[in-house]
Amino acid sequence: MSKIIELSQALNAKLCHDLAGSIGTVDNCLSLIDNDNKEIGKQAKELAIIESANLVKRIKFFRTIYGLSEGEDKLSLVTLSKLLQDFFADTKIKFSIKYDPGVIYMNFLTAKAVVCLAVIAGNAAISGGKVVVFIPEADEVPITIKATGKNIVVKEDSLNILKGDSGIPIAVSNCREHYVNSICTNGNYKLDVTVAKESLEFNMNKK
């Protein structure tokens, strides 16, 4: 089986896994709305509305990051920023983005990699913390994604894939890393990774 097919299957499985919780919650709430206990029905309706809104946000997020960008080759930094602000809104991660004044858009594929790396960095800060993204104007300056927190945990295989080791088998648990590695290879980027007890930093350097 080709690696492209394996990666597609793994990403599809991951998306289904990530959305399953919200879908299950909405389904359970809908079954309780007509409950004889009016208070339970009211609470179920309110939770269904909240979880449905979260589900729509997640689906839009995944569609932008993993979907085919037909007819589009650039993504505005305003859109990129909102995607990540919404993603981290209900987490323990405080997100911020910085960019040079002359930057308004970035290559769509590069943006997809940046967003994935920001999410990976945020997930590594398991006790909460900060994720900061910096987008430079000049190609000579690296794109930087940095997470800081009291407890940074990241699997060695994930780090090795991001550093360019494409020989590690594709799995649901590491498909994002393979996806980023593929984008960097096609976009002619070298990804430098620096990890410490309280920080994880990715630098995307143009070759």
Residue 1 is part of a domain; what is its CATH number?
Answer: 1.10.287.130
Give the separation between CA 153 and CA 201, rounded to whole angstroms: 12
Last residue of some domain: 47, 67, 87?
67
Q: What is the reported pLDDT for 1?
A: 60
**First CA to last CA distance, the chain:** 30
Please identify, among 41, 67, 93, the residue that sits at the C-terminal boundary of a domain: 67
Q: Give per-residue pLDDT as tens, 60-102.
A: 889 989 988 776 789 999 999 999 999 998 899 999 999 988 8
Looking at the fold, whether 108 and 204 belong to one and the same domain comes out as yes
| Mean pLDDT computed over 175-185 | 95
- Model confidence over 154-168: pLDDT tens digits? 999 999 999 988 889
For residues 153 and 124, what is the distance between their CA atoms, to the nearest angstrom? Answer: 5
pLDDT at 94: 96
How much is the pTM? 0.89
pLDDT per position as a tens digit, 26-60: 999 989 998 888 898 899 999 999 889 888 888 98
- 10, 105: one domain: no
pLDDT band at 2; cut points 50, 70, 90? confident
Do both 38 and 98 map to the same domain? no
Report the 10 Å Cβ neighbour count for 203: 17
Domains: count for the chain: 2
**Band (169; pLDDT cuts 50, 70, 90):** very high
Check whether residue 101 and residue 179 sit in a common domain. yes
Supply the DSSP symbol for 87: H
> Domain residues for 120?
71-207
Mean pLDDT of 3-20: 91
Same domain, 30 and 110: no
- The answer on 58 and 152 residing in a single domain is no
CA dihedral angle for residue 4, residue 117, residue 67, residue 94, rounded to 10 degrees: 160
- How is residue 43 written in tokens? 């609470």
pLDDT at residue 92, as a whole number = 94
Four-point Cα dihedral 114, 72, 16, 85, nearest 10: 50
- Report pLDDT digits (tens) over 90-133: 899 999 999 988 889 999 999 999 999 999 999 999 999 999 99
